[in-house]
Structure 1
Amino acid sequence: MCPDDSFTDVDLDTSFCLSQEDYTTEDDTEMSPQNEIKYLVFHSHLLSLFTQCRSCHLSCIGRISDKQGTYIAVTQECSHCGYKWTWRSQPFIRDTPAGNLLLSASILFSGATPAKVLHLLDHLKMACIKDRTFFDHQKFYLLPSIKATWKESQTVLLQQCIARGSPLSIGGDGRCDSPGHSAKFGSYGIVDMDSKKIIHLELVQCNQVTSSNNMEKEGLLKALNFLASKSLESKQRHPHIDHRYDVWHVSEGIKKKLGKLSKQANCDLVREWTKSITNHLYWCAANGIDGDDILKRWKSLMDHICDEHDECYHTTLSPEDRRKKWFAPGSKAHEKLYDILCSKTLLPDIKKLSSQHQTSSLEAYHSVVNHFAPKLLSFSYHGLHSRLLLAVLHFNENFGRPQARTREGKERLAIAYTKAKAGECTPKPIPVPKTYNIVYVEKLMHKAVEYCTAGEKHEHSESPPPLASAYEHPDKDTIPSFSRYKR
């Protein structure tokens, strides 16, 4: 810490003033505010440092002369010799205390919410910023930092896709900010199936389409148009697109229907066959040559479960392989099972099952979104969009982490009991720890400080009009229900 930067001196006695070497230890180095370590200091212990005049060494009292959120300034004026100086708790980034900006940045970049963090600091009786200050920082410095960092990352990802020179294989899935038909926002993520990283994200507000149900389709069309503009032609409306369905989504739909069927009278056998049926679906997708072959393999299941194996692809079954009871042809359970597995709506989907790529990485990304933008909370358009981009940056940096190992070099495994498998245990690899602040957060912090230093308040692109803008806004005095509150 340099005395010239930290003190305002009046009639400074230079023969007494500490030199730079006196202030600096071996561990102190020139560093940016975001990288410098901060400490929690109590009020009484802080003021105990200002009980003696630096010039005449007589008793003197320091007082807090300025407060701005986490920043304070302590001024000490000696009544004996008149010596006066001011100590500042933190540096300024232009006209903004560094601690205030970095606190706002840390709240947003970690996926936390200002209400909870500021309440926590208030319970601790720590001097901190107000929520209005956080939202000002978010608007002018933090959101632009997120968007700029994402654009840089996205440019690299798209260049890698183009450099491969092979047809683009992408997967897409939508996510609404709330369940049912009351969703206000719908996001659509595009994953590169080769690198398993998110390469684009679209956010749609429900008043941009005819209904909430159309937000996912609109997000897809916008994403495909964007990829086409980046020399990555992939439009669904073009006939050369090979559109495939994720096996997991189709399997989950079948599993739910079989679960309901197994609860009906005389249909207990369906529960015993459910896992085999879903496994057969994955086998059909993985081994089918084309859509017709996948469908042919799927239909062979209906004969197999009745102990008829003329159309089956397996070898002769031994008595040990016949562990489950066979269905009786024409029985209630068999007929209802046929209606589900060979329905007119399911068979076209079976033909389009993906044999190479699945969207499991998108499901993993959605779990990350739940941390940065939980559905329990409501966000503005730009606020939600920035948190979705944070989730993308975090996911892309941490996806595909190698498996952790013990000190002896053995791969670490955990035993997982999932609800979907009804208590059946599954070995689960333990990856190395996530990196919350090694790469992408450092970039975000650097840009936030850079924008604040420049003093430019970045405005955002236009957002869709609020939902309430479509309605008439009457004066409160004209609404009968407000009359009871009048005095």
Structure 2
Amino acid sequence: MIAYQVVFHQIPTQKYLRGHNSSFGSLFSGISSNYDNDISFHPSDADTDNEESEDEFIEEHNVNFVSEMKYVVFNSQLKQLFNKCLGDNQCAAPVVELDYRHKGSLVIVNGTCLHNHHFEWRSQPLSNKMAIGNLLLAASILYSGNTYTTAAEFFDTFKLKFFSENDFYYIQRKYLLPVVNSMWNSQQQQLLSEYEGNTDLIVAGDGRSDSPGHSAAFGTYSLMDTKTNAVLATSVVKVTEVNNSYSMEKEGLIRCLNQLEEAHVTVTTLATERHPQISKLMKDEYSTISHQYDVWHMSKSIKKKRAAAAKRRECAELQPWIKSIGNHFW
């Protein structure tokens, strides 16, 4: 649930959290239950007798750990908190032994007082053996569009304890990305349900690759409602799924149209660039959809051809007219 809450702090969506339990005892229910594989947790570091009471404490107080204020604490200042016993007996005797352990941004302090009382203190709450601060840091990095490398350099310069790159990608893969996918699917279902029965849907489609030219490994294709600018469908295509990188755009369009068809959304008009494979596809397999060419791409093509022609001596007088021709075409 914390991962969901971070998403909504970054992307405010009021409706999505309705019906979700905010209890942190079931923090990641529905996403993953294999907590024993958490690489930031070591059984020898935990007091198993306190696990149930730990979750009860979280649920009882029902604290919103996403919006709760956090602070940077220096080690020298932290030590001042452990001059006296913090055990259950609260004898307030001097502490004679302290042991500090770190798990990412979490610090665990184990102490023993003069009367041989033992206590443990954690800088962060836990939920299902996961330090909530580690989860929130990983979520903040991903959902704010940053990278682990940039964040790690900042924390290292500041000498602030931080988790490893492996831990970051583990949290991202196991908790954060499933939340993003779940949120996207839920919003898309709600969005597409509003288009059922629409008889005048005009969409624009375009593809994008991870690198220019014909050496791209991945390509994305999206369909957008030209009236509302809402993205109705999107798909990711890997080059190994098609004959070559040039064919990824065609495959992406097919998947997007299939998504809309499965959602009972009917497209009446589609505007794309002048991709030969897409033109043939629309003519042969989607003849019921009016296929039109995107004006921007055509204007760009005209400008490019006029610019090339103007470089020839006999067409030099064309140069001042290039921009006006493009404007007229629009």
**TM-score, length-scaled by structure 2:** 0.72
Distance 1:32 1:61, change over 3 A: farther
Name the count of aligned residue pairs.
254
Aligned to 1:60: 95
Aligned match for 1:77, one of 106, 109, 112? 112
Matched, 1:34 2:66: yes
1:245 to 293, 297, 301: 293
Alpha-carbon offset, residue 91 of structure 1: 0.6
How far the C-alpha of 1:130 sits from its partner, in A, is 0.7
Q: 2:321 aligns with which of 273, 288, 301?
A: 273
Instruction: Look up the match of 2:77.
Output: 45
Q: Secondary structure at the match of 1:138?
A: helix
In 1, distance between residues paired with 2:99 and 2:295? 65
Which shows bigger deviation, 116-125 or 205-214?
116-125
Of 141, 144, 150, the match for 2:178: 144
Matches of 1:110 and 1:255, distance apart in 2: 38
Q: Is the 8 A contact 1:65 1:72 kept in 2?
A: yes
- Post-superposition Cα deviations, 1:203-239, rounded to whole Å, max 9, x if no partner, equal 0000111110000001001111121111123493232
Written as runs of structure 1 = structure 2, the 5 A alignment for 1:386-397 is none
CA–CA distance in structure 2, aligned partners of residues 191 and 91 of structure 1: 43
| Alignment correspondent of 2:167 | 133
Task: Indicate yes or no: 2:239 matched with 1:191.
Answer: no
5+ residue gaps, structure 2: 1-46, 48-60, 268-280
| Aligned residue number for residue 159 of structure 1 | 193
Instruction: Please name the residue that 2:234 is paired with.
Output: 201
The residue identity in structure 2 corresponding to 1:219 is G
Give RMSD over aligned pairs. 2.1
- Conserved in 1, the CA contact under 8 Å of 2:225 and 2:232? yes
Give the 3 Å change call, closer, same or farther, for CA 123–61 of structure 1 in structure 2: farther
- 1:137, distance to aligned residue in structure 2 (A): 1.1
Moved more, 131-140 or 44-53: 44-53
Query: In 2, are the aligned partners of 1:47 and 1:62 still within 8 Å (CA)?
Result: no
- Cα distance in structure 1, aligned partners of 2:99 and 2:129: 19
Give the stretch that moved more between structures: 242-251 or 64-73.
64-73
Cα distance in structure 2, aligned partners of 1:240 and 1:85: 73
Identity of aligned residues (%): 36
Q: Distance in 2 between matches of 1:61 and 1:246?
A: 76
Please give the alpha-carbon distance, in whole angstroms, between the structure 2 residues aligned to 1:62 and 1:127. 22
Query: Aligned to 1:214, which of 247, 253, 259?
Result: 247
CA distance in 2, matches of 1:188, 1:61: 64
Q: Does 1:228 align with 2:266?
A: no
Matched, 1:179 2:227: no
Q: Distance in 2 between matches of 1:192 and 1:159?
A: 14
Q: Deviations over 1:151-197 (max 9, x none)?
A: 0110121012226x332211110000011111000100111122101
What are the Cα deviations for residues 383-429 of structure 1, in whole angstroms up to 9, with x where unaligned? xxxxxxxxxxxxxxxxxxxxxxxxxxxxxxxxxxxxxxxxxxxxxxx
Aligned-partner Cα distance in 2 for 1:212–1:133: 33
- Larger of the two Rg values belongs to structure: 1
Give deviations 1:54-82, integer Å, cap 9, x for gaps.
Answer: 54545435624432111111123211x33
Structure 1 or 2: more strand by fraction: 2
Query: Which residue number in structure 1 is paired with residue 152 of structure 2?
Result: 118
Determine helix, strand or coil for the equivalent of 1:219.
helix
8 Å Cα contact 2:199/2:266 also seen in 1: no
Q: 1:267 & 1:48 partners in 2: Cα distance?
A: 82
Q: What SS does the corresponding residue of 1:255 show, helix, strand or coil?
A: helix
Distance in 2, Cα, partners of 1:255 & 1:189: 26
Structure with more contact order per residue of length (Cα contacts < 8 Å, sep ≥ 6): 1
